[in-house]
Amino acid sequence: MLIAGNWKMNTDVPEGRALAQVIADRLSTEPQSFEGVDFLVCPPFVHLPAVIDALADSSVAVGAQDVHAEDEGAYTSDVS
C-alpha cells in the first residue's frame, strides 16, 4: 500500500521542514504498525532540499511538483 501526500502550496519552507520532521518522527515510533506501507510526500518544489534533509533517515520517499504562476493556493500539480 502507498500513502502519498501532495502538500500543494500551503506551507513555507520552515513549516515544510517541520512537517516532514513530524512525519519522520511519528513513523519511527511504531514501525511495526506500518509494515507493508510505503509513504510518499510531494512538497512544493522550493521545499525539496529542506524536506529531503528532514526525511534523510526515514523510509519516506519524496516526490516533486511542477510550476505555477500564482503565489499560493491549491493548484493541482503546480507550485509557484
- Sequence ranges of the domains in the chain: 2-79
The rounded percent of the chain whose pLDDT value lies above 90 is 52
In the block, cell 500551503 appears at 10
Bigger pLDDT: 37 vs 33: 37
Look up the pTM and report it.
0.76
- pLDDT category at 48 given cuts 50, 70, 90 is very high
DSSP state of 17: H
For 69, the grid coordinates are 504562476
For 40, the grid coordinates are 510518499
Q: Sort 5 into a burial class: Cβ within 10 Å, 0-12 / 13-18 / 19+.
A: middle
